[in-house]
Structure 1
Amino acid sequence: MVDVAGHLGMALVWLAPAWFVIDRRKTAATFVAVGFWFGMLPDVDLVLSNWFPTVKHHGVFHTVLVVSILAAILGPLVGWILKEALDDSDWFSDAAERNALSLGFVMVWVAGLSHIFADMLSAPDIAEAIEPFWPLYQQSIGIDLVWYNATWFNWGLLALGVLLNVALYYWQKPSVGRGASTAS
């Protein structure tokens, strides 16, 4: 498992393709800025373990199945909130409004999956290995590429994610917004 900076950085990297598929750069920026926080979603098990002793870190919440279920529940809600909050603004494109529920799902799902992958890069070192494909494949999977407390990796991953998204923001051409001559 990587630390918080590493998880947020990995989420930024995994959400970066949004710049190529979302029709307006302010909408892509919204997608990335809101979505990357869900890079911490599987670590909800750390909070829940305080109330439920049977919940363990790197357990069921660190699986593709549970991340998919949580994304199916939270994602459309996030998309709806964004649609309601950003309606009639140039931060949310017409296509994003029409597909807000799907956009929310993808945002939460991709960021949550990035967390699992980041944990696979360093587990098991000081934490239990994860079984990301449980219940279909009940074996732990870990690449063990980096040590959990590797400051260079965690902060480097966050810096990479930020720089990648800033570069893509400036690389993407401004598009025309509702009634505005430019919407950048």
Structure 2
Amino acid sequence: MVDVLGHLGMALVWLAPAWFFVDSKKVAATAIGTGFWFGMLPDVDLVLQRLPGIHHHGVFHTVLFVTLLALVIGPIVGWLLTKLLGDSEWFVRDSKLGAKIGLIVVWVAGIAHLFADMLSAPDVSTRIEPLWPLVDGPIVMMDVLWYKSFWATTALFILGVAANLIAWYLADGRRSSTATA
């Protein structure tokens, strides 16, 4: 498990392709800027672990949980963004499209968290079982990042910012070339 900054960085890496799927750079920036915070979504178990049966890297660190929470929270996030920013250039006016964008960014950021934990959890932390209940037990763990490594965490965040800057630049070039065609 990387630290908070690393999870946010991994969410930024996974959300960077949004620059190529959204026609407006401002809408993409809003979606990514809102969505990457949900890179901490599975760690809600740290708050709830006082309840019986809940532990860190348990059911909250599964694709099932991330999907269910994204289905609930994502459309609300999209709806709120539509209500707050729909009359501006910073988000879409269509609340159904806004709900879909919210769902996607919350889900992608949550899944990115699971992947970051798969890269780092096996060394000293509880292994995650991301495909539970379909697969009982951990799947392939890569153990390439040291647990709470300052350097790995910082590098992931820098990588996430860099990926978005590069995607922003490349998407801008793609928009220019399609506008002239």
> Same fold by TM (over 0.5)?
yes
**1:49 to 2:49 alignment:** yes
From 118, 121, 143, the counterpart of 2:119: 121
Asked if 1 retains the 8 angstrom alpha-carbon contact of 2:70 and 2:107, the reply is yes
Alignment match, 2:87: 88
Supply the AA of the counterpart residue of 1:46. L
Distance in 2 separating the partners of 1:66 and 1:56:
14
Asked if 2 retains the 8 angstrom alpha-carbon contact of 1:46 and 1:56, the reply is yes
Structure 1 residue ranges (4+ consecutive) displaced by more than 6 angstroms after TM superposition = none
Supply the AA of the counterpart residue of 1:48. L
Supply the AA of the counterpart residue of 1:9. G
Aligned-pair CA distance for 1:169: 2.6
Aligned-pair CA distance for 1:97: 4.6
Q: Structure 1: which 5+ runs fail to align?
A: 176-184
Normalising by structure 1, report the TM-score.
0.89
Alignment match, 1:68: 67
Asked if 1 retains the 8 angstrom alpha-carbon contact of 2:17 and 2:167, the reply is no
2:34 partner SS: helix
Aligned-pair CA distance for 1:54: 1.8
Asked if 2 retains the 8 angstrom alpha-carbon contact of 1:83 and 1:97, the reply is yes
Asked if 2 retains the 8 angstrom alpha-carbon contact of 1:24 and 1:93, the reply is no
**Comparing both structures, which one devotes a greater share of its residues to helix?**
2
Q: Deviations over 1:44-73 (max 9, x none)?
A: 0000113x0321000000000000000000
Number of corresponding residues: 173
Aligned-pair CA distance for 1:168: 2.6
Alignment match, 2:16: 16
Task: Using the aligned pairs only, state the percent identity.
Answer: 55
1:172 partner SS: helix
Alignment match, 2:28: 28
Farther off after superposition, 124-133 or 140-149: 140-149
- Give the 5 Å matches for 1:169-180: 169-173=168-172
